[in-house]
Amino acid sequence: MKTHRIICPDDWHLHLRDGAVLRAVIEASSSWCRRAIIMPNLVPPVTSTADAEAYRQRIKAADTAGSGFTPLMVLYLTEQTDPADVVAGFQAGIVTAVKLYPAGATTNSASGVRDMRAVWPVLEAMQTHNIPLLIHGEVTDPEIDIFDREAVFIDKVLIPLRAQFPKLKIVLEHITTAQAADYVLSAGEYQAATVTPHHLLINRNAYLAGGIKPHYYCLPVAKRETHRQALVAALMKDSGKLFLGTDSAPHIDSAKLQPCGCAGIFNAPNTMACLAQLFENHHHLDRLEAFCSRYGPAFYGLDVNTQTLVLSRHDTAQPVPEAVMTDEGQITAFDPQMDIYWSVAGIE
């Protein structure tokens, strides 16, 4: 059996939820990554430093295996966010970044921003103190086709925002389009993006062809095959501007399989296996480490991890991970619809 070793990765976009779901899913991430940017869209959302610290303690308590997993906490940006609280939380080492959800863009985003000018004082303080802004990059105008909302966001919101705050660190999260890849690769040093495993592996046929498949429904939605190919091509350029953010988003199956099913794909159990297969298929397994373990820390100004992740390459395709059971019901893991010959052997 062949093995491949890389610096232990980080996940720069992760949903852990809370309560029973948090306790059930945390091992799926802590088994392979050392740090993760934790999304703040709980109910109610994590909007203050005090909220972030309380949530961080709940995450640490849920890590009963004592893995050493470090949650990097994020504040949910609202039009009432206090710039002083953001700065104080960042300087205290509690807050790592702030998340912009356009109101109504995704799960639990109703408290998000409707008027960008209302949050300019927060963004000014963040630019001054080098605090990253993480963006769910979609407009929510119902007149804009859902497949165009990312591209329109870049033109109508992000480009003007960048002009107003040229030195604000911005991560355009879970990019899905050729337009987003082109924008990020051509932008300056203060702009980066995360890419998910599922947007690198599936296109919109996964959830629309042969019947509706709710487990592949996420936001932003997967796009045409040409966009998936553009993301992969951008990744293989090894630009240093793109890094791993799984957007692993667990939902109980009963919440996915209903007339108005929740958006989100739970990919944490097989993220590294899927990515190793993708990079191997494109003859760039040597670049897996940079995407997963180096570029994210560089953008955030952090050291790379000191431990090593060991991946095993099997002679036969490996099964899709089993569903995770919680006290509220089961959570189905991501099926990449392709043969995966890799698995995580462990951390050294």
Q: Which of 111-125, 267-281, 282-296 has the lowest mean pLDDT?
A: 111-125
Check if 247 is active-site.
yes
How sure is the predictor about 104, in pLDDT bands with cuts at 50, 70 and 90? confident
Residue 110 pLDDT > 80, yes or no?
A: no
Total residue count of the chain as it appears in this document: 348
pLDDT of amino acid 65? 87
Q: What would the mean pLDDT of 138-162 be, rounded to a whole number?
A: 96
DSSP 91-110: HTTSEEEEEE-BTTSSTT-T
pLDDT of amino acid 34? 97
Residue 108 pLDDT > 80, yes or no?
A: no
Residue 241 pLDDT > 80, yes or no?
A: yes
Say if CB 40 and CB 52 are below 8 A apart: yes
Q: What would the mean pLDDT of 117-146 be, rounded to a whole number?
A: 96
- For helices 49-62 and 19-30, give the axis angle rounded to 10 degrees: 70
Mean pLDDT over the full length of the chain: 96
pTM tops 0.95, yes or no = yes
pLDDT of amino acid 299? 98
The distance in angstroms from the start CA to the end CA of the chain is 18
Catalytic hit among 10, 51, 63, 247: 247
CA distances in angstroms from 33 to 7, 116, 244, 308, listed in the order given? 10, 34, 11, 10
Which among 180, 182, 202 is positioned nearest to 274, based on CA atoms?
202
Give the residue extent of every domain in the chain. 2-347
- Give the residues across from 248 on adjacent strands: 14, 265
pLDDT of amino acid 103? 80
Radius of gyration of the chain (CA): 19
Provide CB contacts within 8 A for 178, sequence distance 6+: 226, 227, 230, 231
Q: Supply 142's token pair.
A: 């119902």
With pLDDT > 90 as the criterion, what percentage of the chain qualifies?
94
Q: What is the CATH number of domain 2-347?
A: 3.20.20.140
Buried b (16+ CB within 10 A) or exposed e, 193-229: bbbbbbbbbbbbebbeeeeeebbbbbbbbbbeeebbe
pLDDT tens digits along 54-76: 999 999 999 998 889 999 999 99
Which amino acid type is present at position 258?
Q
pLDDT tens digits along 302-344: 999 999 999 999 999 999 999 999 999 999 999 999 999 999 9
